[in-house]
Amino acid sequence: MLTSAILLAGGNSQRISTNDKTTIVFNNKTVLEYSLDKLQNHTNIHFITIVCSEKNKNTINQFKSKYNKIHNIVLGGDNRLRSLIIGFQNSFKSDITLVHDAARPLITERLISESIDIASKYKSGIPVIHQTDSTYVVSNKTLTQSLDRSNIIGSQTPQAYNTKMIDQILEVINVKKSEILFNDLPELLISNNITPYTFTGEKYNIKLTFDDDINIMRKILEKWKTMLVLVLIPID
């Protein structure tokens, strides 16, 4: 069974004080390289397509020589759904297609493996995190309704899908209309009466969206480094 990965790296970074969050450097490695390393080194990932933007395409093109699984580098669209569709259209047609946001650099081998395994059985595998905070509907900065948080989850990436299933859906949708209604593939599946299959995600698999997220990632990496040092210390 072959698996292709689509790495979405063409976002506008509008809510963070940098032109391109995928080029932020942590421990001498860019945000994009954290995801590329995991995908490149995973035995069940065979091809990688990177969806980039005009502002980072030259930087990303330089990674071709370092990562031999890169199959294609393409320019994304003007929103996430368009970029996803462009990624699917230009990726190697494998049995399973895995989609990951480059803005989630702390992707793990377990998340990749489990999403592929579940998608091979149920045609989709989506990591989710259950909501632990009280949840409300907000209108004009006021709380208008309390929601039952036991039924509220947040989705993460990587998400894996049966490639033929996604191709069939993309053949029949009207992209111009769908770009307004949908932001992600799970929404698209649900609208086509397909129930996406989920599994437990990871709390450290954060998405770099705001400036505070950069500091949070630094702290996570420092914590992991400290834990690794403690493991490697010999015991007399």
Q: What does the pLDDT look like over 8-32, one tens digit per residue?
A: 998 665 556 566 888 888 999 999 9
CA dist 197 and 143 (Å) reads 31
Going from the C-alpha of 216 to that of each of 21, 26, 68, 72, 208, the distances in angstroms are 14, 12, 31, 32, 9
| Rg of the chain on CA atoms, in Å | 18
Q: HSE on the CB side for 165, CA within 13 Å?
A: 24
Domain count, the chain: 1
Whether 146 is in a domain gets the answer: yes
Question: What confidence tens digit (pLDDT) does each residue in 38-59 have?
Answer: 999 999 999 999 999 988 888 8
Using pLDDT thresholds of 50, 70 and 90, give the confidence band for residue 139.
confident
φ, ψ for residue 200 (rounded to 5)? -70, 125
Whether 134 is in a domain gets the answer: yes
Whether 103 is in a domain gets the answer: yes
Range of the domain at 47: 3-209
The H-or-E segment that residue 136 falls in is strand 135-139
Whether 234 is in a domain gets the answer: no
φ, ψ for residue 198 (rounded to 5)? -115, 165
Strands 47-52 vs 3-8: parallel, antiparallel or unpaired: parallel
Whether 233 is in a domain gets the answer: no
Question: What confidence tens digit (pLDDT) does each residue in 85-125 have?
Answer: 899 999 999 999 999 999 999 999 999 999 999 999 999 99
Question: What confidence tens digit (pLDDT) does each residue in 188-207 have?
Answer: 899 889 999 999 999 999 99
Instruction: State the CATH number of the domain containing residue 119.
Output: 3.90.550.10
Whether 215 is in a domain gets the answer: no
Whether 236 is in a domain gets the answer: no
Whether 229 is in a domain gets the answer: no
Using pLDDT thresholds of 50, 70 and 90, give the confidence band for residue 235.
very low
